[in-house]
Every structure is written in structure tokens, then in C-alpha cells.
Amino acid sequence: MVVFSHANWRKPTIRTLDRPSIFLAGALTALIILWAFFFFSTINSPPNNTCNCNQPDPAFNLQFDPPVSTFYDDPSFGYTLNKPITNWDKKREIWLTLHPSFKPRSRDRVLIVTGSRSTPCKSPTGDHFLLKFYRNKVDYCRIHGYDIFYNNVLLDRNMPSCWAKIPTVRAAMVAHPEAEWIWWLDEDAAFTDMEFKIPFEKYEGYNFVVHGWPKEVYEKKSWLGLNAGSFLIRNCQWSLDFLDSWADMGPRSKNYDKWADVLLNVFHHESDDQTALGYLLLKDHQKWYGKKMLIETGYYLEGYWVVIVDTLKNITERYLEIETSAGMLRRRHAEKVSERYGVLREPLLKDAGNEFGSWRRPFVTHFAGCQPCNGKHNPLFTAKGCRDAMNKALNFADNQVLRNYGFVHRNLSDPSVVSPLPFDYPA
Ligand SMILES: *[C@@H]1O[C@H](CO)[C@@H](O)[C@H](O)[C@H]1NC(C)=O
Ligand SMILES: *[C@@H]1O[C@H](CO)[C@@H](O)[C@H](O)[C@H]1NC(C)=O
């Protein structure tokens, strides 16, 4: 048997598996197959609990919901913004106690929430790209064991377009008391580092995290100092209250016009979810409320595609260099254990930096301004420029996934062509 370890990984050659042991292994396999055949053919009917042995850990009990009343049984309790929720932390805690199989790791469980409109995209390639963006998110979730909810209906008629995320996130919190964090991601954002994991331990004292530049928000009062296309929000009472305040600035609220004036005054920009969020950050910055909100500057919780896409080629090359010298990273493995290889790679990225100017894979690339669905891109870009960039980023991400299936896009601009990966690539 060849034992791999980080330090002395070598390509197993035919010499390490000498002929007698190959013969022996073949004979053993044949014996096992024969035994299994006779064993299973003698069993008439399998016992009822065939799956009880060797259950994965943690095993969620998906069929257990005890007949003890919880917030779900309270008729006054609701999923919509017009039904205020109080004491949510206690309610969530009680639910978890009643469903003990969800309790382990309930302090860092993540639900990704994303969505798009309910009608077909106006742009002829829109739905095609949305499917790719969604597939990309599903890939990340499968690799890291996260759940995902894709909403494509308007939950609150008075909260259309960019505001729709607020009622969606709120409903997701209530539907998922087992999740500690809800992670909103826009439809046009893609994971471009399938290995990177959010450092949740850093957010112990925070309930809301968004990517941006604090100086731009707090000093320059720029609505572009943050981006509301990707944010983390803890599933707790604070967050429900926060979503109420945020929604109060939106079109469903009787205060909408009043807030629109305030936002125009302070941020010199029309009212939208992002300007409103900027205002909430600014207004409560020094208060207890605001101290629970963090503008993340350390990595691309979302990054602007314009500054990212041209760096992907060089980043690919740097990662290939690393893999040429670190044999362990070339080792083929089951997709389920991919996180292990992310951990092994981390020390080799210590000089890569992060965010702008870095050669680390950007975590999330956001195609802000491209509007892939309705096609009404920002006049600064062309539709083709956007499509080319989206293809590049999505294929860059896809390569990290397809690798575990034995394939690679050699040309990032060509989504339809892949080639098989040779063994021990890229040695
Ligand atoms: C990629 O690397 C080359 C060679 O080091 C360098 O000249 C070029 O500017 C880099 N491109 C980008 C977009 O960083
Ligand atoms: C990569 O694919 C694009 C799109 O199909 C094509 O135009 C380009 O020539 C290809 N590049 C190479 C180096 O083959």
C-alpha cells in the first residue's frame, strides 16, 4: 500500500506495486465479489433498518418534528414584514432543543439565499447565464456542505427589484432556524475561489457583514463604498429588527419618500437598497447597533469584475506553479474531501495577498452593471464585453470543480470545450 503524506508525496510507479501484489489484489477482489454475490443472493428481504449502520455524522433527522408547539404553531406569527417577530433568539433556541440532530454545529451553519425575477430574461442569453451563475453557487455549496435557496418569486409586491432581497432574507431566516448565517448573493455573482471559506470565527461579535471600503462610506459618504450584492446576516432578533429598519426605507413603507430625500441629501444618490444600507451603516456607526455591522475589507466577499477578470490568467499560472512544486496538491481525490486540499494550499498562498493586486483567486466576482438578465448593461460596458468576462470567470471557477471530475477548460473563453486531465497534472 502506498501511504501519502504531505511531505513525501510521490507518484506511485509500477515498481511500488510489484507484480505479485497486483496478482494478489486481483485474486482478492474476485473472491470478495463472489462472496458478496452469494451473501446477497441468500438474503430474501433486507431488514427494515438497513441504513442504520454507519450513518454519516452529523446525521440530521429529517423525519422528526415532535408534536410540541413552537413559533410555527402560533397563528399570529408570520413570514412577512408586516408581522413583527419578537424574542426570536429564544424561539430559535427552543426549536433547536426540540430538534437535537440539528444542534451540533448550529453556531456556524450557513444558508445561501439568491434569486432572480419570475419572468423570462429579456436578454436572449440571460437565462443561460443565470443558470450558469446558479450552477456555480450549487457547486460551492456541494463542496462546503451549505444549503441554498433560490427564490424566483416576488414575496412582497411592494418590494420589487433590488429591494426584493429583504423580504426574501427574512422569510429564509424563519424557514431555517437551524442556520446561523444567511448569506445573500446576487444572481450575477460567481464564486471564483471554490476553496476559500468565510472566516466566520472573525465575526463572533457581528451580525451583519458586507464588503466595501469604510472610509468611502463613513467619510466620503459614497453609496459605492459598499456593495449590497453579497452580505452575511446572522439569524437572530437583532437582524430581524435590522431588516425592519432597512425595509422601512423601501417602497413598501409610508416613510419611503421621506427616506428618499434623506438619502439624496446624504449620499447624493437615489433611493435603493444599497444607498439605504450605506445610510444605516453611517447613521449607527458609533452606536451599539452599528457596532454589530462590519464592512469587510480583507477579502472579496464580493469583488468588482472589471478589476478582476484580466487577472485570472496570471492567477491560473501562479496556481499551476504552486501545484508543480507541491505534489500533494496534484493528488486526485473525491470531490467530498476537497476542503482538505484547500487547507493544504493555504500556507503556499501566504504571499499572495488578497483583494486588489493579489494573485490569490478572487473569492466572489460580481458582474455589477452587466445586468445579464435584462441586458440593460451600464453604458460603460458592451454586451459582448460582459459576456466574455462572465464566460472567463465562470470557466475559471468551473475548472476548479471539473478537476475533480478529471477535466479542464484549457481555453477560458470557450465554455463548451474541455479536455481530460492527465494523471498527476500539472507535474
Ligand atoms: C501578468 O503577468 C505578466 C508577467 O509577469 C505581467 O507582465 C502582466 O502585467 C500581468 N497581467 C496582469 C493583468 O496582471
Ligand atoms: C478560445 O476560445 C475562443 C472562443 O471560442 C476563440 O475565439 C479563441 O480563438 C480560443 N483561443 C485559443 C487560444 O484557442
Residue after which a domain boundary falls, among 298, 313, 334: 298
Judge if 287 and 142 occupy the same domain: yes
Are residue 341 and residue 409 in the same domain, yes or no?
A: yes
Model confidence over 206-262: pLDDT tens digits?
999 999 999 999 999 999 999 999 999 999 999 999 999 999 999 999 999 999 999
Domain membership flag for residue 131: yes
Residue 28 lies in a domain: no
pLDDT by residue (tens digit) across 17-72?
A: 444 444 444 444 554 444 444 444 434 444 444 444 555 455 899 999 999 999 99
Q: Is 321 in the pocket of ligand 2 (CB under 6 A)?
A: no
> How far apart (Å, rounded) are the C-alpha atoms in residues 293 and 332?
41
Same domain assignment for residues 235 and 335: no
Residue 95, in any domain of the structure: yes
Last residue of a domain, one of 269, 298, 327: 298
Q: Which residue's alpha carbon is nearest to atom 13 within ligand 2? A: 411
Query: Quick check: 191 pLDDT over 60?
Result: yes
Q: Per the domain annotation, does 56 fall within a domain?
A: no
Q: How far is the CA of 418 from the centre of ligand 2 (A)?
A: 12
Q: Is 276 found in the same domain as 348?
A: no
Residue 96 exposed, middle or buried by CB count within 10 Å (0-12, 13-18, 19+): middle
Q: Closest Cα to atom 12, ligand 1: which residue? A: 311
Same domain, 317 and 169: no
On whether residue 230 sits in a domain, the answer given is yes
Q: What is the pLDDT of residue 289?
A: 83
Closest C-alpha to ligand 1, atom 2 = 314
Distance 390 CA to ligand 2 centre (A): 15
* Mean pLDDT within 108-132: 97
User: Do 265 and 364 share a domain, yes or no?
Assistant: no
Domain presence at residue 229: yes
In a domain, 57, yes or no: no
Same domain assignment for residues 354 and 290: no
Q: How many domains are contained in the chain?
A: 2
Asked if 111 and 230 sit in the same domain, the reply is yes
401 within 8 A of 388, measured Cβ to Cβ: no
- Starting at the edge strand found earlier in the chain, the sheet holding 189-191 runs 189-191, 364-366, 303-304
Give the residue numbers spanning the domain of 176.
Answer: 88-187+200-298
CATH of the domain at 232: 3.90.550
Angle (CA) 156-160-161 rounded to 5° is 140
Q: Output the pLDDT for position 287.
A: 87
Nearest CA to ligand 1 atom 4: 314
Is the pLDDT reported for residue 6 higher than 50?
no
419 CB within 6 A, ligand 2: no
Same domain, 171 and 98: yes
Return the ligand number nearest the Cα of 311: 1
Going from the Cα of 408 to the center of ligand 2, the distance in angstroms, rounded, reads 15
| 414 close to ligand 2 (CB < 6 Angstrom) | yes
For residue 358 and ligand 1, the question of a CB distance below 6 A is answered with no
311 lines ligand 1 (CB under 6 A): yes
Q: What is the mean pLDDT of residues 313-335?
A: 97
Quote the pTM value: 0.87
Q: How far is 252 from 249, CA to CA, in rounded Å?
A: 8
Measured in angstroms, how far is the CA atom of residue 314 from the centroid of ligand 1?
6
Confidence check: pLDDT of 413 > 50: yes
Mutate to test the pocket of ligand 1, among 308, 309, 314, 317 (most ligand atoms within 8 A of CB): 314
Decide whether any atom of ligand 1 lies within 6 Å of the 317 Cβ. no
Nearest of 312, 342, 337 to residue 326 by alpha carbon? 342
Same-domain pairing of 316 and 215: no
Residue 371 CA, ligand 1 centroid: distance in Å? 29
With respect to residue 4, please indicate whether it lies within any of the assigned structural domains.
no
- 277/384 same-domain check: no
Task: At 364, list the grid cell.
Answer: 466572489
Which residue's CA is the nearest one to ligand 2's atom 5?
414
- Whether residue 318 contacts residue 359, with contact meaning beta carbons closer than 8 Å, is answered with yes
Of 282, 298, 314, at which residue does a domain stop?
Answer: 298
Same-domain status, 409 and 267: no
Residue nearest to atom 8 of ligand 1 (CA): 314
Ligand 1 atom nearest to CA at 313 = 1
